A and B are shown apart, each in its own frame.
Chain A
């Protein structure tokens, strides 16, 4: 199964896109809707639901980021993402489907798992624009390489 990839734009001239390929695969890849809504319950029991948005969130863990290997690339990426800037997330790095995302993290915490090896968790919020998927199943389908079914 191909790994995902991330593409973000360099802040320095000539502003070329930087690609962050996943050297090793993510684990605990999960996707879901988190809704922002308000329920008004009438005395009679009728309910009015006022929806602000159904936010699409992606979470995963990278269990093996290695010093002198891919950790430097992830650090550069998180330096970009923690600034609140937008990037493209490809659930399957071998095909063209991608979503505009921003990081929902406010930290880049590295947990030691072995000498020179660290793990980190990531949470992405999908930007609700024309590039956004219809729902979590679209993202999972792309992640598992099932785009032909979508």
Chain B
């Protein structure tokens, strides 16, 4: 969930609202807004502004949890050109590559309390149809991961057998090593608090096993490498936050248990949730120990109950050149396979199929909900496919697709059932923590 503030929150939850959007191009004044800030009683020191912005759609982002990948969000803002002012700006200034932000506020709030929705990088500026305005297109910062690394960051010589790039550590450590050293990007572009939390001893993800060790001897594209070689084998996926920072989410819930940030209900959804199922996954193949001549080890995990119920379903192949048995990768693979089966194999029996996935449309007031968030869903009319009862209360889902439509004043989401509803976390730390119950708990 994105950070907001009390003044903004009060307006946002109001059922009658007038959102004001502001589009900023770094290094440029004025900013462009959908409304006249003075007329809307925005307080504080107002920046120079022009109320020429059309309400944009917003940028969609979705994740593929099983592939460890995330789509690159694209934002398009159309600004009306008054008296050729933008034509002059676009024709005389290098704006491509600038950081742009889209923020939203409400009448009467302080200018400083506008909430940033997207922080993207401008890559294309085109005249709008009929030349009445200009389209500013921007993409999220994953674009910076699309670069190919062909030089060793330490000596700038090409990567080859005699000059390999060695990477070792947790996924978050390798991610940061590549981002800072190989791509030479600034620290501020990563959400380091989340990355640090993933590596924390209290999370227990890498206390006993750090299974990755890479020896890279040829050029590679960073995004593809991270997603296929590290995130997918580690059960992680990348997320861009509203400030444009790259972050990671683990499909394993936090040790202290998932923390639902919002409850979707019949009071804020504008349609009955559309229910679908993820494919059944009951066979997972890990290929590891690749020392340059192909994977030397293959581990096959089969979920017997699922197999006997559904027959052979999807086979999930995870192959990484960095997974090493000597570093404990086999234990790592077994742990990951267990977690994938628990969520996607169609067991326990009551599930009777793949993990439920919902498509919902909701009020604009839900816009702080972000990709990767845990949310509750309650609905009196929705069938509970686990029990056959009518109605669902506080079932725990994970947001895997977020599609704003600010122009229509509505939000769309895809929610993936976590299978964690009602389960207790393995532990609680102080002050009233109960004992460790890791052996019995499915959340740790």
Contact = CB atoms under 8 A, between A and B. Distances in A.
Contacts of B188: none
A38 B16 contact: no
Interface residues of A, number: 19
Interface stretch (B164-172, B261-269, B414-422, B424-432): B261-269
Interface string B360-380: 001111000000000000010
A78 B287 CA distance: 74
B304 interface: no
A46 B18 CA distance: 17
Contact of B35 (A42, A47, A53): A53
From A44, A47, A132, residue with most partner B Cβ within 10 Å: A44
B169 to A, nearest CB: 46
B15 A128 contact: no
B39 A130 contact: yes
Interface string A46-90: 111111110000000000000000000000000000000000000
Nearest to A49: B16
Given A40-B364, A43-B269, A52 B34 contact: yes
Contacts of B365: 48
Nearest to A36: B55
A42 B39 contact: no
Pick the most buried of A37, A38, A129: most chain B CB atoms within 10 A of its CB.
A38
B219 to A, nearest CB: 48
A41 interface: yes
B38 interface: yes
A38 B409 CA distance: 6
B267 A42 contact: yes
Contact of B17 (A43, A48, A128): A48
A43 B362 CA distance: 10
A129 B16 CA distance: 22
Contacts of B442: none
Contacts of A44: 265-267
B194 interface: no
Contacts of B269: 42-43
Contact of B36 (A40, A47, A51, A128): A128
Contacts of B272: 43
A41 B271 CA distance: 8
Interface residues of B, number: 29
B270 A41 contact: yes
A40 B379 contact: no
Contact of B408 (A38, A43, A49, A128): A38
B15 A47 contact: yes
B39 A50 contact: no
Contacts of B34: 52
Given A40-B363, A128-B39, A50 B266 contact: no
Contact of B15 (A37, A48, A129, A132): A48
B202 to A, nearest CB: 39
Given A38-B410, A40-B410, A130-B39, A51 B270 contact: no
Contacts of B38: 129-130
B35 A132 contact: no
Contact of B364 (A41, A48, A130): A48
B19 interface: yes
B36 A43 contact: no
Nearest to B382: A43
A47 B14 CA distance: 10
B153 interface: no
Nearest to A129: B36
Nearest to B410: A40
B391 to A, nearest CB: 12
29 contacts: A38-B409, A38-B410, A40-B364, A40-B409, A42-B268, A42-B270, A43-B269, A43-B271, A43-B272, A44-B267, A46-B268, A47-B15, A48-B15, A48-B17, A48-B363, A48-B364, A48-B409, A50-B17, A50-B18, A50-B19, A52-B55, A52-B409, A53-B18, A53-B35, A128-B35, A129-B36, A129-B39, A129-B51, A130-B38
